[in-house]
Amino acid sequence: MYNELLRNCSSNSSHFQFRAALSSVVDRSDPRVDLADFKMIGEGSTGTVLAAYKISAKQIVAVKRMNLRKQQRRELLFNEVSIMRDYQHPNIVRMFSSHLVGDELWVVMEYMEGGSLTDIVTQTRMTETQIATVALQVLRALEFLHSRRVIHRDIKSDSILLKADGTVKVSDFGFCGQLSEEFPRRRSLVIARQPYDTGADIWSFGIMLIEMVEGEPPLFNEQPFQAMKMIRDEPAPTFNPTANVSAELAHMLSRCMVKDISQRATATELLRHPLLTKAQHPSCIAHLINNNVNRN
């Protein structure tokens, strides 16, 4: 059923088929009745993100409004709504509801007032305690998803959102893949032309560790095709030799950046890693978040 609906969300389907497929997974109520005081907080080529007041809950929420006719990859909308509806965890951004409003999809979700991890890593150098605290929360979300055969496929600092109290949550589920018992590995990996599984998220998590130490991911200034070629042909990325990292952090990265996916660490294994003994209560990163909010 899921795969059939997903096919109806492909670029080859008509607008009517696409809208019908989405209507099967969204709420039927009109969200505008329960929302007020909209304020733009983000804008892209295919939609906007607004903060709004949810009257019934008496709280601020985020509302993603996406124009159905402007989506080049329609299945991403279906993916995001389905995954966020079906999988809830303390370290995953919560979706309250989703709705079709005219030619727009509205997704009402919790408001992450602290912004993204990207905002933090580009403005400050995090301590290993702070890195471990973020890593622990992200790995908990990944273990939860992976145990349910879900691959996120877009783990990066932009996809990690923060609450003012230091809580870290994974967002952006459009690229998710759902594995099955019949197909425990996906059959397309652009870089190496090999099937892949949940280990793809662990590689991306490793890249995010580098971001938290160095402020940007490796190969950041390379063109995408060249970067993919370098990842395929060259040794796995590691920390810059000038980075002052502990043996524990270096070892965690090395367990993420194993090119043989069958030998790469799992989220469950990484949750037992010695680096995470440095993690503290999420409040230890709250001042980084508050500094970022004040800058903006």
pLDDT in tens, 240-279: 999 999 999 999 999 999 999 999 999 999 999 999 999 9
Grade residue 296 by pLDDT with cuts at 50, 70 and 90.
low
Whose structure tokens read 């709705």?
99
Rounded to 5°, angle at Cα 120 from 126 and 151: 95
First to last CA, the chain: 44
Check residue 13 and report its DSSP letter: S
**Residues with catalytic annotation?**
154
For residue 17, what pLDDT band results from cuts at 50, 70 and 90?
Answer: confident
Q: In the chain, what's the furthest Cα-to-Cα distance?
A: 56
Instruction: Give the domain ranges of the chain.
Output: 2-110, 117-295
Q: Please state which CATH number belongs to domain 2-110.
A: 3.30.200.20
Q: What's residue 66's pLDDT?
A: 92
* DSSP, residue by residue, 88-135: --TTBPPEEEEEEETTEEEEEEE--TT-BHHHHHTT-PPPHHHHHHHH
64 is in an annotated binding site: yes
Residue 81 burial by CB count (10 A; 0-12/13-18/19+): exposed, middle or buried?
buried
Encode pLDDT of 142-165 as tens digits: 999 999 999 999 999 999 999 999
Answer whether 105's CB lies under 8 Å from 99's CB.
Answer: yes
Class of domain 117-295: mainly alpha
